[in-house]
Structure 1
Amino acid sequence: MVSTRLIEAPQERAFQAFANPDQLKHWWGPSGFVNTIEKFELYPGGEWRLIMHGPDGTDYHNENVFTEVTVPERVAFEHREPVHRFKMEMTFAPAGAHTQLTWRMVFESATEFARVKDFIIPANEQNFDRLAAHLAAL
C-alpha cells in the first residue's frame, strides 16, 4: 500500500518531525490518538517502542525495529506488534520548498492487507493531516 502527501515544510524539517520523538509523539497515528514513546533508537537495528492510546481508552503497544535510516531522506522499519506485521518505508523527497512524503507498507500477505486496508487507508491520511498541522504550528 502506498500513501503520499505534499508536506508544506522543507525536507529537513519534515524529517525531524519524525526523527525527534518529542515531536513525533504529538502527531503519530490516526485522529484522536495520543502516544507514549518508550524507546526510539533511530539507526539500523534500533528499537522503536510506543504505546498508542486510542480515543476509546484502548492502549495499543507497538514494537518496531529500524532497518534503514538515511538522514533526511528515508526511514524503513519492521512493525512487529501488536495485531499485524508489516514493513514500512518512509521517503522524504524535496519538492521545492516542500517535501513529498511517501509511505510504502508491505504486509505479510494479501489476506492480511485485505483485513486491515479499510482502517489503514484513512488512518494514514489522518496521520498526514496531523503531521501537517504539527508542522504548521511550529
Structure 2
Amino acid sequence: MTTEIPQSSPDCEIVTSRTVNASKEQAFRAWSDPEHLKIWWGPEGFTNTFHEFDFQPGGKWEFTMHGPEKGHYQNSCEFIQITEPELIYWKRYSQPLFRVLVTFEAVSELKTSIIFKQIFDTAEACEKIKKHVIDKNEEVFDRLEEELAKM
C-alpha cells in the first residue's frame, strides 16, 4: 500500500540531514528496530520507554521520552508508509503536531544520506518550535551515529 506523501512548502518544514557511515540497510534498521531506536532516539541525555512499536502502515508507536533533568513526554504516533530500506513516514498525534518523513539514500556501499523532515500544517506551527529543535535534531543524529558504530 502506497500513500501519497503530501507536498509542503519550505516554511512548513524543518529538515535535518546527515551522511552516516553505514549501509542503507543498516541505517534503516537503526530506525526500524525498537531495540536500536530506543537507545538513540531523542536529544542528548534523553531516554525512552517504548509502550508499543508496531512497525507497519497503520501501526502505532507509543513511547515516553524521559528528559535528563525532569519531564516525561508522552508521544503517540502512527506509521503511514514504510518502504524498506528507503522511507519511513509517520504522523504524530501528540503535541506539537507534525508528520515525519525519513528517507535513506546510498551514497556508497557503507555511506548513507539520511534526510529527516518534520512537516507542519502551517508556517506558524513550524516557526513556533523551529528554534528549539534544530540543535536538538543534530544531537539526535549524533546519538544515531554512536549507535550505528556499535551495530
Q: TM-score under structure 2 normalisation?
A: 0.88
Q: How far off is 1:57 after superposition?
A: 2.3
**Equivalent residue of 1:95, what SS?**
strand
Count of residues in Structure 1 that have an aligned counterpart in Structure 2: 137
1:37 corresponds in structure 2 to 50
1:93 is aligned with what amino acid?
A: E
Tell me the equivalent position of 1:135: 148
Q: Deviations over 1:39-82 (max 9, x none)?
A: 1111111000110000112100000000000011100000110x
Select the residue among 77, 85, 106 that pairs with 1:72: 85
Percent of pairs identical after alignment? 36
Residue 101 (structure 2) aligns with: 89
Secondary structure at 2:36 match in 1:
helix
Paired AA for residue 85 in structure 1: L
* Unaligned 5+ runs, structure 2: 1-13
Q: Which residue of 1 aligns with 2:123?
A: 110
**Residue matched to 1:46:** 59
Structure 1: distance between partners of 2:70 and 2:121? 28
Q: Deviation per CA, 1:77-122, whole angstroms, max 9, x where unpaired?
A: 00110x2100110001111021100011111211111110111111
* Bigger strand fraction: 1
**TM-score using structure 1 length:** 0.96
Q: Distance in 2 between matches of 1:109 and 1:91?
A: 22
Structure 1 runs not aligned, ≥5 long: none
Aligned-residue Cα RMSD (Å) equals: 0.8
Structure 1 residue 6 displacement after superposition:
0.2
> Matches of 2:28 and 2:119 in 1, distance apart?
21
